[in-house]
Structure 1
Amino acid sequence: MSGGWLQGTAFTVFDQRVIWSDLIGNSIGLAALALGWRRSVWTWPAQLLAGLILVTANATAELAGGVGKQLVVIGVALFGWYQWTRGGHRTRDGGVAVRFATWRERGLLLAGTGLGTLAVGLLFTSLPELSWNPWPDAYVFVGTVAAMVAQARGLVEFWFAWLLVDLVGVPLAFASGLAFSGLVYVLYFALALLGLRDWWLRSRAASRPPLKGAPA
C-alpha cells in the first residue's frame, strides 16, 4: 500500500473527510481492543499494525504530536507482546491471567501519568508545531501509553485508564479533523466498559480461595 493511497479520502462524514489510513488504522485498533478484552496475545500485533498505519493518518492531518504518540504506541505494543508471550502467566483457557494492581502499582501509574502529562504538555506548548491543542493532546498521549503499560501487565486498571482517555479523545479527534477516529473512540468507550466487567469478574474469581474438596 502506498502512502498516497492511504492518504486518500475513503468517504465523508459530518462534513469531514475520512482518509483511508484513519479508517483502516482505527478499525484495526478497535479489533485490537476487542482482542485485549478476550485476553488474546494477538491484541499486540494488531496494535502494532494500527500504530504503523495511524502514523500516516496523523502525518496527513499535520499532527506531529500524533505521529510521536503512535511511534511510542508501537514501542509499547512491542513491550506488551513480549510480556504476554514470555513473561505473562497464562490461564487454562489460554488467555493471559489478569488481576487488580497493588496500591504501589496504582501510585506509580498515577504519578507517571501525571508527571508525563505535565512534561509532554510543556513540550507541546513550547513547540506549537507538535500540537495545536497541547494539553488535551498530552493527556491522551500519556494516558494511552499508561493504559497500554497496564494492559501489558494484565492489570484491570487498564480499562479505567482507557475510559478516562476516551472522555478527552472523542472531542479532540473531531476537533482535529479525524472524524472516524472520534467515532471509533465512542466504540472504544463501549468496549472498555464490557472489557472492564469481564476482567473485573475474572480477577475476582481468581482471587477467591478454592472450595474444600475442589480440585486444585
Structure 2
Amino acid sequence: MNESLAVLGFSTTPLELISFVLAATTVLLNIRQNHWAWLFSIASSSTYAVVFFDARLYGDSGLQLVFIAASVWGWWQWLRGTQETKLVVTRLCRVGWAWVLAGWGAAFLVLSWFLRTYTNTDVPHIDGFLTAGSLAGQLLLARKKVENWHVWLVVDVLYVGLYIFKDLHVTALLYAVFVVLAWRGLRTWSKLARVAP
C-alpha cells in the first residue's frame, strides 16, 4: 500500500488515496449531520495514521489515534445527545471561546515541546499547533458547535502549506477541498443554529 504512484502529476501512494476518499466522505457527511460520518472518520484516521507516520508528521499521526477515540465519542454524542435529548447545532458563548483558545494554546506548547524533544520531526511547532487545533475542532464538532468550522478553516488552510512542504500533494489537495467544505459547513450550520431551540 506504500508503493509510489503518480496521480494528476503528483506522487502518492494507494494508502494516501484511500485516506483521501474516506476523509472527504467524512466531511461531506458531517455537513449533513449524518452520524455515519463518524464511521468514515474512524476509517480515514486509521489509514492516515500510517501515512503521516511515514512522512515523519508524528503529531498528526498520533492525532489520528485520538481522532479514532474522539470519533467513537462523537458518534455516541450525535446518537444519544445529552441526557437522552437530541444534540442540536448551537454556538459557543464568549467564555466557551476563551476556553477553546486557552486549551489550543496549552496543547500547542506541550505538543511542540514533546515533538521537538522526543522525535526527529523537522516541523515540531507547526505540527504541534495544527495537532492542537485539530483536537479543538474535533471536540467542537462532536458537541455540534458552529465554531468547529471556524477552527477547521484556520487549520485546513495551514495544513495545505504543511502538506505541500512534506510532499504529500494529494493530501494537500484534500485539505484545500476541506477549506471549501468548511466554509460550506459554516454557512449551513450557522443557518441551523439561528433556528435551533
What is the TM-score with the length of structure 1 in the denominator?
0.85
Which residue is equivalent to 2:3? 8
Between the aligned residues of both structures, percent identity stands at 27
Q: Over residues 80-99 of structure 1, what are the superposed CA-to-partner deviations in whole Å (9 max), with x where a residue is unaligned?
A: 11111122543xxxxx5201
Counterpart contact for 2:15–2:51, Cα < 8 Å: yes
1:8 partner SS = coil
Alignment of 1:165-180 (within 5 A): 165-180=155-170
Q: CA deviation at 1:26?
A: 2.0
Residues 1:82 and 2:73 aligned together: no
Q: Deviation at 1:128?
A: 3.7
> Unpaired segments of 5 or more residues in structure 2?
none
Shift of 1:174: 1.0
> What is the deviation of 1:69?
1.6
Question: Which of the numbers 141, 151, 173 marks the counterpart of 1:183?
Answer: 173
State the 1:127 CA deviation.
Answer: 2.2
Q: 1:76 to 1:172 in 2, by over 3 A?
A: same
Give 2:150's match in structure 1, choosing from 133, 152, 160: 160
The residue number in structure 2 matching 1:205 is 195
Spell out the pairing of 1:15-26 with structure 2 (5 A cutoff): 16-26=10-20
In angstroms, what is the RMSD of aligned CA positions? 1.6
- C-alpha deviation, 1:160, in angstroms: 0.2
- Taking a change above 3 Å as real, the CA distance of residues 10 and 97 of structure 1, as seen in their structure-2 partners, is farther
Q: Which residue pairs with 1:126 in the alignment?
A: 117
1:105 equivalent in alignment to 2:96: yes
Q: CA deviation at 1:176?
A: 1.1
- Structure 1: which 4+ aligned runs deviate by more than 4 Å? none
Deviation, structure 1 residue 61: 2.3
Residues of 1 paired with 2:156 and 2:162: CA distance? Answer: 10
Matched letter for residue 41 of structure 1 = H
- What residue in structure 1 maps to residue 105 of structure 2? 114
Q: Highest Rg: 1 or 2?
A: 1
Alpha carbons 1:99, 1:155 under 8 Å: kept: yes
Deviations 1:141-177 (A, max 9, x none): 1111110100000100000000010121001011112
- State the match for 1:214 in structure 2: none
1:43 is matched by which residue type in structure 2? Answer: A
CA displacement 1:185-212 (0-9 Å, x = unmatched)? 00000001011001001111225xxxxx
- Aligned partners of 1:19, 1:128: CA distance in 2, in Å? 24
Native 8 Å contact 1:7 1:60 kept in 2: no
Where 2:122 maps in the other structure, the secondary structure is: coil
Q: SS at 1:17's partner residue?
A: strand
The amino acid that maps onto 1:166 is: D
Question: Post-superposition shift, 1:48?
Answer: 0.5
What secondary structure sits across from 2:12 in the alignment? Answer: strand
Structure 1 unaligned segments of length 5 or more: list them.
1-5, 91-95, 208-216
Contact 2:160 2:175 in 1 (8 A): yes
